[in-house]
């Protein structure tokens, strides 16, 4: 196996594992908590889903040979998904700041019982 083939295989394995772990986490979180009722929970799930969606252009390229440089549609999807990270993280910051200001977040060390 050449180094190029090894890199391609590693990419495919990482994409499959990463996609499965993100879908599993969303399913597990859905089963264990009503995240849709909590602004932080919604933010966590949206970012996990966005991360999974960011894999789409690479999956299309590696598995279906549809490259973002060969297809303008795939290119724009890639640009759009990457661009969505900024508003999502800004909104997460606003939500976090509002909850902190309202006193609805634990103070430093208040929520982690494992370390004590």
Flag whether pLDDT at 109 surpasses 90.
no
Flag whether pLDDT at 82 surpasses 60.
yes
Q: Give 66 or 17, the one with higher predicted confidence.
A: 17
Quick one: CA dihedral 67, 68, 74, 77, positive or negative? positive
**Tell me, what's the pLDDT at 116?**
41
Q: pLDDT tens digit string along 33-53? A: 999 999 889 999 999 999 999
Mean pLDDT for the chain overall: 87
Q: Which tokens go with 31?
A: 């089963």
**Tell me, what's the pLDDT at 77?**
86
Q: Under 8 Å CB-to-CB from 59, ≥6 apart: which residues?
A: 15, 19
108 pLDDT band, cuts 50/70/90, is low
**Tell me, what's the pLDDT at 73?**
84
With H, G, I as helix, E, B as strand and everything else as coil, classify residue 41. helix
Q: What is the pTM assigned to this prediction?
A: 0.75
């Amino acid at each position: 196996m050449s180094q190029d083939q090894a890199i391609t295989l590693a990419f495919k394995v990482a994409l499959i594992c990463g996609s499965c772990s993100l879908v599993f986490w969303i399913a597990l979180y859905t089963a264990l908590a009503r995240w849709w009722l909590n602004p932080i929970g919604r933010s966590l799930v949206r970012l996990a889903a966005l991360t999974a969606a960011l894999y789409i252009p690479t999956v299309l390229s590696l598995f279906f040979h549809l490259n973002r440089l060969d297809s303008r549609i795939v290119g724009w999807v890639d640009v759009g998904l990457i661009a969505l990270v900024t508003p999502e993280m800004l909104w997460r910051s606003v939500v976090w700041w509002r909850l902190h200001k309202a006193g609805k977040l634990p103070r430093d060390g208040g929520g982690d019982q494992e370390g004590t």
